[in-house]
Amino acid sequence: MKLKRMVVGLGERSYSIWIGGGILPRLSQALQEVNFPKKVAVVFNPLVQSLYGGTVAESLQSAGYEYHQIIIPDGEEHKNWTTLQKIHDGLIAYGFDRQSGLIALGGGVTGDICGFAAATFLRGIPYVQVPTTLLAQVDSSVGGKTAINHPKGKNLIGAFYQPRHVHIDVDTLQSLDAREFAAGMAEVVKYGIIRDKSFFEWLSQNREALQKRDTEALIRAVKRACQIKANIVEVDERENAQRAILNLGHTFGHAVENLSGYRTYRHGEAVAVGMVVIAHISQRLDLCSAADVVAIRQLLQAFDLPVMPPDYPIDAYLDAMMRDKKVLKGKLRLVLNRGIGDCLVREIDEPATLFAEALNNIQ
Ligand code: NAD
Ligand code: GLY
């Protein structure tokens, strides 16, 4: 059984990440190592419960944990107050106190809401992330952003609250459907573009193994992605500066999601489109070459991701982008790629011209 360990170094809030194939049964071992409370509740949706709930229950119960479970509905539309209250209701019913902990088993929706439930119950109880989608393994489970949605927008209510441990079994990705897998790959490619050209090239060379979900290849990709994310979070936990680079392609991507009503595109798919648009803008600003733009586009397409922006009016795109969290004093700020493997955040003076040109060039 292959196991890679790393640490997210945040002083007293530091935590371990374990990455491996077939390591779900070792969850109790990891919890013991981090002195996690002995009374736990696992939060999952019915699908993830049916796939992996038994393995987790067995691991915890055989190690003597007092095990409870809280089932939440599947889907982004349930990442809200009602579900949060369901988790809190469960914790109260089971008599949870500060010597108890939560375990998020599932994708980013479960991780975000369970993390926020942990942050808010009794002013904070410990929790662990056990991510089972590729997106959650390479992004949402690391870094401590927890949230629920508000009817007016995604992730508007939340807290920075770090987990005690992140437990990543890449074998859980075997049951993921092809579209969810591809959507996660968009975030993996993102790490190569913003920080590591040789990783970008490695992804291209190992595309087939990754798409076949080869365990070794997955461990390597997830590990590098987590390392890059951890390094960024370690220097800017609360996104005062550098952490914003994790949002490459997200400003335009969020606009795509918003304009299409959050149903047509998976988040990662919209981000893939956004990264291609940004690559064109970066080229226009002399930050990267035409060959870089082609390489980015081709790699995303090779992972079965969309790269063509849907046909909405430029004003609609601009309107949606001005609601981005990175807008400061009415000015749009974009994460731009400098070549491949480096990036920067820049305030944009004439977004209308730049985006109109980029959208024309992509056609
Ligand atoms: P998700 O949690 O909705 O999971 C996608 C689908 O896959 C769900 O239907 C789920 O039940 C299913 N699933 C989960 N694991 C599975 C498995 N192993 N096999 C088969 N099916 C499985 O979506 P997601 O893409 O994982 O996460 C998206 C959420 O993550 C969004 O709410 C987004 O805001 C959030 N997010 C948070 C951060 C952060 O830093 N906190 C970063 C990125 C995204
Ligand atoms: N997913 C972006 C971040 O964690 O900051």
The confidence score (pLDDT) of residue 330 equals 84
Residues with C-beta less than 6 Å from any ligand 2 atom:
139, 143, 145, 239, 243, 246
CB of 47 sitting under 6 A from ligand 1:
yes
Q: How does pLDDT run across 80-128, given as a tens digit for each residue?
A: 999 999 999 999 999 999 999 999 999 999 999 999 999 999 999 999 9
Cβ neighbours of 232 (radius 10 Å): 21
CA distance 173 to 215: 9
Q: Atom of ligand 2 at shortest distance to CA of 142? A: 4
Residue owning the nearest CA to atom 2 of ligand 2:
246
| pLDDT > 70? residue 1 | no
Q: Give which of 105, 103, 6, 101 is closest to 51, Cα–Cα.
A: 105
Q: How does pLDDT run across 19-68, given as a tens digit for each residue?
A: 999 999 999 999 999 999 999 999 999 999 999 999 999 999 999 999 99
- Could you tell me if 245 and 335 are in contact, meaning their C-beta atoms sit under 8 angstroms apart? yes
Q: Atom of ligand 2 at shortest distance to CA of 187? A: 1
Residue type, position 120, single letter: T
| pLDDT > 90? residue 323 | no
Q: Counting Cβ atoms within 10 Å, is residue 303 exposed (0-12), middle (13-18) or buried (19+)? A: buried
Provide the percentage of residues in the chain whose pLDDT is more than 70: 100
CA distance 125 to 249: 34
Measured in Å, residue 136 CA sits from the centre of ligand 2 at 11
Q: How does pLDDT run across 238-296, given as a tens digit for each residue?
A: 999 999 999 999 999 999 999 998 889 999 999 999 999 999 999 999 999 999 999 99
Residue type, position 71, single letter: I
